[in-house]
């Protein structure tokens, strides 16, 4: 018997209505999604394609007008479901008069976290997102990138089984983007399911196993990213350390065998890798700057093997229970 999907929508419909309850826009039109445990799933589409609406329905913020939605096997507005979900909205809507530590404490308390375990998690998360040295600064003074980082930290405060990230790298520098991608990958390796919505296709390509592309509220393409991006009848051969003679010999042989002369191009690094190398070199030479400091390593509590719930059970499935 196959494992129950973490997220399941069937023929999901969402219609926005005007003041007189007349249909104004069909934001989501018959979307089917199935996310499995430990999977990083990408939701792509241009503005107004229905990505954020779908996410808000999955979070119980909007009511579906048709179809079926199940998150962790239950309706999305179920409080037990919310205990196991982490959410980073497209912008981090934070209380500006709270500092970073107070912000995390506030959201941790909503999950029922108390005492030293809460403070330990906050320390680990601040360390993970590189804000441990700005824990007492009001978040209203934070840059967009720092606000995104604290937003990501609050999304992980409950050690969620399902993490929904809406534009997680928006406003982040390349270093921050790389760290977020590393965190997403590490979360998936630990068995957590990640639903990622983004405009930045390179980010999605780097971390997602499967994607769905939406347009006009409908699914336009869906499947494993490797299959979707495969170009038929085109092959790539990678070799290194060839001298001029070997190259000429290779080209001649291939031409003789295939009847067409292939082209040779040197392998290029992508810009992100190059940038990260330069920054890493600079850091080695001149030490840490005044900005954020993080290695993209997962917080300790997120990597721990979950123990049996001692207090209030968060789930009927013991394997998925939390130590909150």
- Measured N-to-C along each axis, helices 100-110 and 144-155 cross at an angle, to the nearest 10 degrees, of 30
- Out of 67, 73, 112, 135, which residue is the one contacting other proteins (CB under 8 A)? 112
111 binds other proteins (CB under 8 A): yes
DSSP state of 74: B
In angstroms, the CA 15 to CA 53 distance is 10
The span of 50-58, 168-176, 188-196, 279-287 binding other proteins (CB under 8 A) equals: 50-58
Q: Are 314 and 321 in contact (CB under 8 A)?
A: yes
In angstroms, the CA 176 to CA 86 distance is 19
Considering beta carbons, is residue 62 or 225 the nearer one to other proteins? 62
Least CB distance to other proteins at residue 70 (A): 17
Least CB distance to other proteins at residue 289 (A): 29
Least CB distance to other proteins at residue 318 (A): 19
Considering beta carbons, is residue 109 or 220 the nearer one to other proteins? 109
52 binds other proteins (CB under 8 A): yes
277-316 positions binding other proteins, by CB under 8 A: none
94 binds other proteins (CB under 8 A): yes
DSSP string, 182-223: HHHHHHHHTT-EEEEE-S-HHHHHHH-SEEEEEETTEEEEEE
- Out of 40, 59, 125, 188, which residue is the one contacting other proteins (CB under 8 A)? 59
Considering beta carbons, is residue 43 or 62 the nearer one to other proteins? 62
Reported as half-sphere exposure (CB side, CA atoms, 13 A), residue 2 has a value of 7
64 binds other proteins (CB under 8 A): no
In angstroms, the CA 169 to CA 207 distance is 12
With CA atoms as reference, report the closest residue to 156 among 205, 190, 204: 190
Mention every residue, 6+ apart, whose C-beta is less than 8 A from residue 200.
Answer: 169, 170, 177
89 binds other proteins (CB under 8 A): yes
The span of 87-95, 116-124, 200-208, 231-239 binding other proteins (CB under 8 A) equals: 87-95
Mention every residue, 6+ apart, whose C-beta is less than 8 A from residue 59.
Answer: 76, 85, 87, 164
142 binds other proteins (CB under 8 A): no
93 binds other proteins (CB under 8 A): yes
Footprint of other proteins (CB under 8 A): 16, 25, 27, 48, 52-53, 56, 59-63, 79-80, 82-83, 85, 87, 89, 91, 93-95, 107, 110-112, 154
């Amino acid at each position: 018997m196959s494992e129950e999907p973490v997220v399941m929508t069937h023929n999901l419909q969402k219609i926005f209505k005007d003041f007189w309850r007349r249909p104004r826009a069909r934001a989501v039109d018959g979307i089917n999604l199935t996310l499995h445990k430990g999977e990083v799933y990408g939701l792509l589409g241009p503005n107004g394609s229905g990505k954020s609406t779908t996410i808000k329905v999955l979070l119980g913020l909007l009511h579906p007008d048709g179809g079926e939605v199940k998150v962790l096997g239950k309706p999305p507005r179920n409080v037990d479901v919310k205990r196991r979900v982490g959410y980073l909205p497209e912008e981090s809507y934070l209380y500006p008069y709270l500092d970073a530590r107070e912000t995390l404490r506030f959201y941790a308390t909503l999950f029922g976290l108390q005492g030293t375990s809460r403070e330990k998690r906050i320390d680990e998360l601040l360390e993970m997102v590189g804000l441990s040295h700005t824990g007492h600064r009001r978040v209203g003074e934070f840059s967009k990138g720092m606000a995104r980082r604290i937003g990501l930290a609050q999304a992980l405060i409950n050690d969620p089984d399902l993490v929904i990230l809406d534009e997680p790298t928006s406003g982040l520098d390349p270093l921050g983007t790389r760290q977020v991608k590393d965190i997403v990958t590490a979360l998936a390796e630990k068995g957590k399911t990640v639903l990622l919505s983004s405009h930045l296709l390179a980010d999605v390509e780097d971390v997602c196993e499967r994607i769905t592309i939406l347009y006009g509220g409908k699914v336009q393409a869906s499947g494993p990213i490797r299959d979707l991006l495969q170009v038929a009848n085109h092959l790539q051969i990678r070799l290194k350390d060839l001298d001029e003679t070997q190259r000429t010999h290779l080209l001649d042989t291939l031409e003789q065998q295939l009847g067409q002369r292939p082209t040779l191009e040197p392998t290029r690094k992508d810009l992100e890798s190059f940038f990260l190398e330069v920054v890493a070199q600079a850091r080695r030479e001149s030490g840490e700057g005044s900005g954020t400091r993080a290695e993209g390593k997962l917080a300790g509590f997120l990597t721990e093997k979950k123990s049996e719930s001692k207090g209030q059970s968060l789930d009927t499935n013991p394997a998925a229970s939390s130590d909150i």
